[in-house]
Amino acid sequence: MIQALQLEPDRKYEWLVQRRHQMDLLELEWSMVAADYCATDDCDRRGFTTPIDSLRVGCQMTGPAVADRWRWASTWASFARAPTRCV
């Protein structure tokens, strides 16, 4: 049984907000590791043409979904390396 279904609406809202945040952090972590994996040649060993295709099959995702997360992680990484300025 999903326990959150038993919560009152205000507690259910808080649960949903917290759970979404947890899921976002997991997606960020997955994306960062996937981007790092895409920089390797492991897909050749596995018999795939590209790392994205390897992840698409292994993770049961669509190619565009894997590519989107790779691009997102790459963009996030470039922001993380950018110098910060106070305006």
Looking at the structure of the chain, the number of domains it has is 1
Give yes or no for a contact between 52 and 38, defined as CB atoms under 8 angstroms apart: yes
Q: And the tokens for 67? A: 């590519």
**33-65 pLDDT tens trace:** 999 999 999 999 999 999 999 999 999 999 999
pLDDT at 41: 93
pLDDT at 75: 82
* Inside any domain, residue 85: no
* Inside any domain, residue 58: yes
* Inside any domain, residue 82: no
Structure pTM? 0.78
* Inside any domain, residue 46: yes
* Inside any domain, residue 36: yes
* Inside any domain, residue 4: no
**What range defines the domain where residue 69 resides?**
11-76
Q: Which residues contact 32 (CB under 8 A, 6 or more apart)?
A: 73, 76, 77
Q: Which residues contact 76 (CB under 8 A, 6 or more apart)?
A: 28, 31, 32
Helix ranges (DSSP H) in the chain: 9-38, 42-46, 51-58, 63-81
* Inside any domain, residue 31: yes
